[in-house]
Amino acid sequence: MARKITLDDLSRELGLSKFSVSRALSGKPGVSKETREAVVRAARGMGYNHAATASPSGEKVVHLVIPRADAMNSSFWVEVISGAEAEARAMGYRLTIDVLNPDRGTEVLDDNVNGLILAGRRSRGVIEPFMRLAIPKVLIGHPRPMEQIDSVQAANFDGGYAVGDILGRLGHRRIAFFTDAPEDEGRNLRQAGLVEAMRVHGGIVLPPFRFDEATDAKSMVLDALTGPQMPTAFAGATDFVAITLAWGLLELGLKVPQHISIIGSNDSHTASQLGLKMSTVRQPMHEIGATAMQMLQWRLEKAAPDARPRRTLLTPEFIERSTHGPCNEAALAAAVATLAKARPQPAAEAI
């Protein structure tokens, strides 16, 4: 009895990925006409029975890919994925999800995937191989200039501007921006919006401070406050950054916001549930996921083959809580001077 020919056999014979072979046989987008014809000829010649492994008729499948480091550590992405799942169900799609480390790639995709939603920080490298596939896809995040892909993201520049505008109206003229990922496009846009708002109000944003989770929060805030220019407000790239800095300030005996204001970003659950009610910028997380699914359905079912990529920006909202207030530079300067005197000084080197 002859051995059954498999997708792996076809893949080795043609020198193509199993994913490309499968899509060619299924008639789905993602491979060229020439490749499709070559795969079909080889399948016929080798006696491959594609009908035996075909997907259930009429099933519509969308696959979401996100780096494990983002999915496991961010409530932001939990809410985004929830929004995509709910919208997919309402549209009659089955949403499957892969949470990936960098050592896995496009081989995780099944042949019945109609479209992709790509989420998470691009700098991690996980979603880049999927960006190159010719399958209809939507990026939740920031496309590169002129990149040919549909995308959905929060208006991060607007969020940063809102923070700077509110602090500027309260008399703040020097703000310290703390970021945990200077390579991230969204965080950098928040910083750019903050800089522009401070320019309008006649103030400045100090060169960004790198937030390191492994570094003592008290040391980070003291370094910022005792530098050449003392900020009167902190802006965190995320709520986690802002909350960590706020606890560092409180442990030093500084009052928030009586001495110094601090504002976060995302309005994660922790922003209002840890005793400290953090002023923040709420990103429309659930709506971002739902909009990505709506855009992918448009691309799959309604868009013309040559339709230009669409980019959707969703406006954030400032959430006023208790960690920001009027500038009180004199009181802050006096408190910081006291802290600086009590701070241990490096031992002098022996001569």
Tokens (6 digits) for 342: 């009590």
pLDDT digits (tens, 9 = 90+) for 248-291: 999 999 999 999 999 999 998 778 766 789 999 999 999 999 99
Q: How many CA atoms lie within 13 A of 107 on its CB side?
A: 11
Say whether both 30 and 172 belong to one domain: no
Is 134 part of any domain? yes
Say whether both 245 and 125 belong to one domain: no
Say whether both 187 and 222 belong to one domain: yes
Which CATH number goes with the domain that contains 166?
3.40.50.2300
Q: Are 71 and 77 in contact (CB under 8 A)?
A: yes
Q: Is-above-0.85 flag for pTM? A: no
Say whether both 124 and 169 belong to one domain: no
Is 349 part of any domain? no
DSSP state of 329: H
* Full residue range of the structural domain in which residue 48 is found: 7-53
Say whether both 336 and 228 belong to one domain: yes
Say whether both 16 and 47 belong to one domain: yes
Say whether both 35 and 119 belong to one domain: no
Q: Which pLDDT value is given to residue 43?
A: 77
Tens place of pLDDT for every residue, the chain, 351 residues? 456 677 677 778 888 766 677 667 666 656 677 777 787 778 767 766 554 444 444 678 999 999 998 887 778 898 999 999 999 999 999 999 999 988 888 888 887 899 999 999 888 889 999 998 989 999 999 999 999 999 999 999 999 999 999 999 999 999 999 999 999 999 999 999 999 999 999 999 999 999 999 999 999 999 999 999 999 999 999 999 999 999 999 999 999 999 999 999 999 877 876 678 999 999 999 999 999 999 999 999 999 988 999 999 999 999 999 999 999 999 999 999 998 777 665 554 444
Say whether both 196 and 338 belong to one domain: yes
Is 304 part of any domain? yes
How many separate domains does the chain show? 3
Query: How does the average pLDDT of the chain come out, rounded?
Result: 88
Which CATH number goes with the domain that contains 20?
1.10.260
Say whether both 131 and 76 belong to one domain: yes
